[in-house]
A and B are shown apart, each in its own frame.
Chain A
Amino acid sequence: MRDTNIEDIELELLLEGIFQRYGYDFRHYSRASIKRRVKHFMAKSGQGKISEVTTLALHDSNFFQQLVEDFSVPVTEMFRDPDVYQALREKVLPRLATYPFIKIWHAGCASGEEVYSLAILLKEEGLYERTTIYATDFNEIVLAKAKQGIYPLADVKRNIENYRRAGGKGSLAEYFDALYDSIIMSKTIKKNITFARHNLAIDQVFGEMNLILCRNVLIYFDKMLQERVLHLFNDSIIRGGFLCLGKKESLQFFEIYEHYKDIDSSSKIYQKKQREQPGSAPL
């Protein structure tokens, strides 16, 4: 048997062990990425074989915490893909403006940069005061970071450039305070955001949302888990509500697509149809 096949078995056992011991379900994550992350972790922490990681992870919960932190390396930035924010501003927010209260779920919010970007967008369009944003992630460590809203000053130049390209109307500096070599998001931007732990792999529906954003999360899941999560979203979005996925993620090949129409195909923004066509099955 080739070494890679043995490694695949070891990886399978590690993920099963983590699930049984800690309830974190990585069993339906894309294998290629998770294998890479495990190997990256091994190189850093000095294990030669995946099964050694399994032994330590099962018996030492501190070791497991380090591992799980590495499993979910958040990589994001403010106004990532500025054109998507531009599209949200022009095509989604005007329709949300017709509601007295707006509920938004940002699923897989990582360290929070994109949540604050959205909050800024809502503020500039005059909708923030009647909006609640639920920002969730399965990883408590990144969630704590998101809640703090403290980011490196070194990234500000790029963030401002993104903000400008996203059609920013004022100055990004209005929304944060500089603090030594960091920026901290201001209270006026934080106040309507609720950060909560939610695991897309195992947890349930989150409420009746006008808009769900989940960008660059589904690419880490296998088809089966993608199906699960999209059903979860479908059950959480009101009729006429919106779903925004990552630019390389698509609803098109999934069952629930028939209940949606394309709002912006490049930004992967979809709207749930107001009512079903006659003759089709109810949701």
Chain B
Amino acid sequence: MNDFVKYQAIAIGASAGGLAALAEIFAALPENFPLPILVAQHLHFNQDDGYLKYFANRTLLPVKDADDKERIKRGHIYFAPPNYHLLVEKDQTLSLSVDPRVKYSRPSIDVLFESAADIFSSLLIGIVLTGANDDGAMGLKAIKERGGLAIVQAPATAEVDCMPRSAIATGAVDHILPLTEIGPFLCALVTPKD
């Protein structure tokens, strides 16, 4: 990883309206984007992997369902598989669990965020996007408490604004950004400044 990059990973949580919002962000990232991206997107539990195909021609980065004990690679986008929680292990591999739903959700955004914060601490960027519940709010707070960067989609630009509003209400937020600006903002964060 390049020395100038201050961060090691990005974790994104999304629910209702999330696929389109994620596509908007992913489309803005270049092929050589240096950070891995971990995504917890609430999906119907019987959903197949059709959503992976949806992203295939919307981003230059490889997109896949996380496999158990898979090593995290830079520039890859990993989704929590439907009906599994996604967590990060100390050796920077991914692990899955079928533990009970958290806030009615599996995958749970809080579970992903809290476990990623545990491993990457201040080198983690957390992003809460559109959704109709308050998942992700506690997790984003955990990221911020470890010194990570907390970003929330501006509620006015969210298809459903409940999830961004809940995250903002914790007060643990660094940036509130319109959807179209999140991708470019991430690019700027990882680009060297002369």
Q: Are B96 and A36 in contact (CB under 8 A)?
A: no
Nearest chain B CB to A141 CB, angstrom units: 16
Q: Is A30 at the interface (CB under 8 A from chain B)?
A: yes
Query: Are B100's CB and A75's CB within 8 A?
Result: yes
Instruction: Let me know if B87 is at the binding interface, CB within 8 A.
Output: yes
Contact A32 B68 (CB under 8 A): no
Smallest CB gap from A161: residue in B: B46
**Of A30, A216, A250, which is within 8 A of B89 by CB?**
A30
B90, B95, B115, B121: which contacts A219 (Cβ < 8 A)?
B95
Judged by a CB distance under 8 angstroms, whether A28 is at the interface is no
| Interface: A59 (CB within 8 A) | no
B131 within 8 A of A: no
The reply on B99 being an interface residue by CB < 8 A is: yes
CA distance A37 to B97 in the complex (A): 11
A223 close to B69 (CB less than 8 A): yes
Q: Are B118 and A219 in contact (CB under 8 A)?
A: no
B134 interface contact, C-beta 8 A: no
Given contacts A248-B67, A250-B67, contact A32 B95 (CB under 8 A): yes
Identity of the chain A residue whose Cβ is nearest the Cβ of B122 in the assembled complex: A2
Which of B68, B89, B99, B118 gathers the greatest number of chain A CB atoms within 10 Å?
Answer: B68
Residue of B nearest to A215 (CB): B98
* B window 69-90: CB within 8 A of A: 69, 81, 84-85, 87-90
Could you tell me if A219 and B96 are in contact, using CB atoms closer than 8 angstroms?
yes
The one of A36, A73, A76 in contact with B87, judged by C-beta atoms closer than 8 angstroms, is A36
Counting contact residues on chain B (CB < 8 A from A), the size range is 20 to 34
Q: Which of B83-117 contact A (CB under 8 A)?
A: 84-85, 87-90, 95-100, 111, 114-115
A8, B90: Cα distance in complex, Å: 10
Q: Is the CB of B100 within 8 A of A73?
A: yes
For A4, give its contact among B81, B84, B121 (CB under 8 Å): B121
Shortest distance from the beta carbon of A4 to any chain B beta carbon, whole Å:
5
Q: Is A243 an interface position by the 8 A CB rule?
A: no
Q: Would A219 and B98 count as touching, CB distance under 8 A?
A: yes
Beta-carbon contacts under 8 Å, B105-148 to A: 111, 114-115, 118, 121, 146
CB-contacts of B53-78 with A (<8 A): 65, 67-69
Complexed CA–CA distance, A73 and B87 (Å): 17
Number of interface residues of A (CB under 8 A): 25
Q: Which residues of A contact B100 (CB under 8 A)?
A: 73, 75
Closest chain B residue, CB of each to CB of A39: B114
- Report B145-169 CB contacts with A as 1/0, cut-off 8 Å: 0100000000000000000000000
Bound-state CA distance A32–B87 (Å) is 6
Given A30-B87, A31-B90, A73:B99 Cβ within 8 A: yes
Task: Give the chain A neighbours of B67 by CB distance below 8 A.
Answer: 248, 250
**Which residues from chain B contact A219 at a C-beta distance below 8 Å?**
68, 84, 95-98
- A257 within 8 Å of B by Cβ? no
Known: A32-B118, A248-B81. Contact between A220 and B89, CB under 8 A? no
Contacts of A37 in B (CB 8 A): 99
Chain B residues with Cβ below 8 Å from A103 are: none
How long is the Cα–Cα vector from A248 to B67 in the complex, in angstroms?
6
Cα distance A35–B115 in the bound complex, in angstroms: 9
Also in contact, A248 and B99, with CB within 8 A (given A8-B90, A30-B89, A223-B69): no
> Quick one: CB contact mask for A245-276 with B, threshold 8 Å, 1 for yes?
01111100000000000000000000000000
- CB-CB under 8 A from A76, the residues of chain B are 98
Instruction: List 9 A-B pairs, minimum CB-CB distance, nearest first.
Output: A32-B87, A30-B95, A33-B97, A32-B115, A219-B68, A219-B96, A216-B98, A75-B98, A32-B89
* Apart from A30-B95, A32-B95, A219-B68, 12 more pairs, CB < 8 Å: A4-B146, A30-B87, A31-B89, A32-B115, A35-B118, A73-B99, A76-B98, A219-B84, A219-B97, A220-B97, A247-B81, A250-B67
Point out residues on A near B: beta carbons under 8 Å: 2, 4, 8, 30-33, 35-37, 73, 75-76, 216, 218-220, 222-223, 226, 246-250
